[in-house]
Amino acid sequence: MIDLYPAGSRPSRKAPDQWFTGDVWMDPIITAQAPARINALRVRFAPAARTAWHSHPLGQTLQIISGVGLVGLRDSAPREMRPGDTIWIPPGVEHWHGAAPQVAMEHLALQEEQDGSAADWLEHVTDADYLRSPDSRA
């Protein structure tokens, strides 16, 4: 037996202010039942919107769908992300991601749950960390 979720059958939800800054909307793709562990969302960030610092127990993959985004690691300038880019963040690496200051961004976020959790949330990203000059693309 398979599960089929018709388009529009599951509502978009506003991302919680506790873990996000700015206007962020999430659409569920899948939270699989055990023994599978995959958790996937489509996430839309308004300009300058972003996640808080966080990590994932089993890592995370981001696939950029549209717009321009930024991904930041501790003590590093953020890197720019564009449509078609795929980003792998290894397990336990503290990071944040979101839209560029003046451009919205949409991505798919794929991560696996471990012991019922797909993310470990930390403090909000400061404007100083967010506005660091991004590394240029090669």
pLDDT digits 0-9 by tens, 30-40: 988 888 899 99
pLDDT at residue number 134 = 64
d(CA 109, CA 6): 20
Instruction: Determine phi and psi for 52, rounding to 5 degrees.
Output: -80, 170
* Token couple for 25: 């909307």
DSSP 33: P
Task: Give the list of residues 6+ apart from residue 47 with CB closer than 8 angstroms, or none.
Answer: 22, 99, 100, 101, 102, 103, 104
pLDDT at residue number 137 = 42
Query: Which pLDDT tens digit goes with each residue over 37-93?
Result: 999 999 999 999 999 999 999 999 999 999 999 999 998 999 999 999 999 999 999
Task: Give the list of residues 6+ apart from residue 3 with CB closer than 8 angstroms, or none.
Answer: none
Query: Residues 130, 71: contact at Cβ < 8 Å?
Result: no
Confirm whether pTM is higher than 0.75: yes
**Residues 83-98 as b or e (16 or more Cβ within 10 Å = b):** eeeebebeeeeebbbb
Place of tokens 């506005």: 131
Instruction: Determine phi and psi for 49, rounding to 5 degrees.
Output: -75, 150
Task: Give the list of residues 6+ apart from residue 5 with CB closer than 8 angstroms, or none.
Answer: none
